[in-house]
Structure 1
Amino acid sequence: MKDMNSIKVLMVHNYYRSKSPSGENIVFKYEIELLKRHGHKVIIYERNNDEILNSGVLRRSLSTFDMVWSLKTYKELKYLIQKERPDIAHFHNIWYLISPSGYYACKELQVPVVQTIHNFRMLCANGLLFRNGKICEKCVGKYPWRGVIYRCYNQSRLYSSPIVFAEMAHKLMTTWDKYVDCYIALTKFARNILIRHGFQNDKIVIKPNFVFRPFESLNNNKNFVLFFGRLSQEKGIDVLIKAFEYLNKINRDVPLRIIGDGPLKREIIYRIKKIGNIELLSQRSHAEILEQIKDALFVIIPSICYEMFPMTVIESYSMGKPVIASRIGSLSELVEDNITGLLFDPNDFISLASKIFFLYDNKELCYKMGSNAKIKYEKEYTPDVNITKLYDIYEKTLNKYFI
Structure 2
Amino acid sequence: MKIAIVHSYYSSRQPSGENVVVDAQASALSEWGFDVRVVAARTDELETSRAYKLSTAVTVATGRGPSPVRELENFAPDLVHVHNLFPNWGTAWLNRWHGPLVATVHNFRPVCAAGTLFRDGAECTLCPATNTFAAVKHACYRGSKVATIPLAIRSRNGVAGDPLLSRADAVILLTERARGLYEGFGLPAEKISLIPNFVDDVGFTRSTPGTDWVYIGRLTEEKGIANLIKHWPETHTLRIYGDGPLREHVESEAQARGNVTYLGRLEHDAVAGVLAGARGLVFPSEWAEGGIPLSYVEALAAGRMVVAMAGSSGADDLEAAGAGSIFRDWAGLAAALDEACAHSEVFARRARSHYEENFRRETFLQRTDDLYRRLVAHSRAGATHA
- TM-score band, normalised by the shorter chain? over 0.9
Asked if 1 retains the 8 angstrom alpha-carbon contact of 2:199 and 2:360, the reply is yes
User: Which sits farther off after the overlay, 290-299 or 175-184?
Assistant: 175-184
Q: 1:278 to 1:62 in 2, by over 3 A?
A: same
Mapping of 1:107-256 within 5 angstroms?
108-168=96-156, 175-176=163-164, 178-215=166-203, 217-219=205-207, 221-244=209-232, 247-248=233-234, 252=235, 254-256=236-238
**Does the alignment pair 1:294 with 2:276?**
yes
* In structure 2, C-alpha distance between the alignment counterparts of 1:64 and 1:97, rounded to whole Å: 9
Is 1:380 the counterpart of 2:381? The answer is no
Residue 224 of structure 1 and its aligned partner are, at CA, apart by: 1.0
Amino acid at match of 1:145: F
Look up the match of 1:3.
none
Cα offsets for 1:216-245 (capped at 9, x unmatched): 63525222111011222111112211222x
**Alpha carbons of structure 1 residues 212 and 369: separation in structure 2 relative to 1, 3 Å:** same
Q: Structure 1 residues 241, 397: CA separation in 2 closer, same or farther (over 3 Å shift)? A: same
TM-score normalised according to structure 2 size: 0.92
- Contact 1:140–1:193 under 8 Å retained in 2: no
Note if 1:266 corresponds to 2:248: yes
> 1:73-88 alignment to 2 at 5 Å?
73-74=66-67, 77-88=68-79
**Alignment gaps of 5+ in structure 1:** 1-6
CA distance in 2, matches of 1:102, 1:45: 14
Query: 1:134-154, CA deviations, whole angstroms, 9 ceiling, x for partnerless residues?
Result: 110112355522211221112
1:31 and 2:19 matched:
no
1:63 partnered with 2:56: yes
- Which amino acid letter does the alignment assign opposite residue 262 of structure 2? L
Q: Is 1:349 matched with 2:330?
A: yes
Distance 2:142 2:166 in 1: 31
Which whole-Å CA distance do the structure 1 matches of 2:22 and 2:368 have between them?
Answer: 13
> 2:306 maps to which residue?
323
Structure 2 residue corresponding to 1:394, chosen from 363, 372, 378:
372
Q: Which runs of 5+ in 2 are unaligned?
A: none
Offset at 1:400? 3.4
1:185 CA drift (Å): 0.8
- RMSD value, Cα: 2.1
**Secondary structure, counterpart of 2:154 in structure 1:** helix
Work out whether residues 286 and 311 of structure 2, in 8 Å CA contact, stay in contact via their aligned partners in 1: yes
- TM-score normalised to structure 1 length: 0.88
Q: What percentage of residue pairs aligned between the two structures are identical?
A: 26
Offset, 1:390: 0.4
Instruction: Report the counterpart of residue 303 of structure 1 in structure 2.
Output: 285
Deviations, residues 278-303 of structure 1 (Å, cap 9, x unaligned) = 22101021111221111111100101
Cα deviation digits, residues 20-59 of structure 1 (max 9, x gap): 1111112111111111111210011111223453111x34
Q: Is 1:101 the equivalent of 2:92?
A: yes
Distance in 2 between residues matched to 1:240 and 1:13, nearest whole Å: 33
The count of residues paired between Structure 1 and Structure 2 equals 380
Deviation at 1:78, TM superposition (A): 1.7
* One-letter code aligned to 1:92: H
SS at match of 2:84: coil
SS of 1:335's equivalent in the other structure is helix
Q: CA deviation at 1:103?
A: 2.3
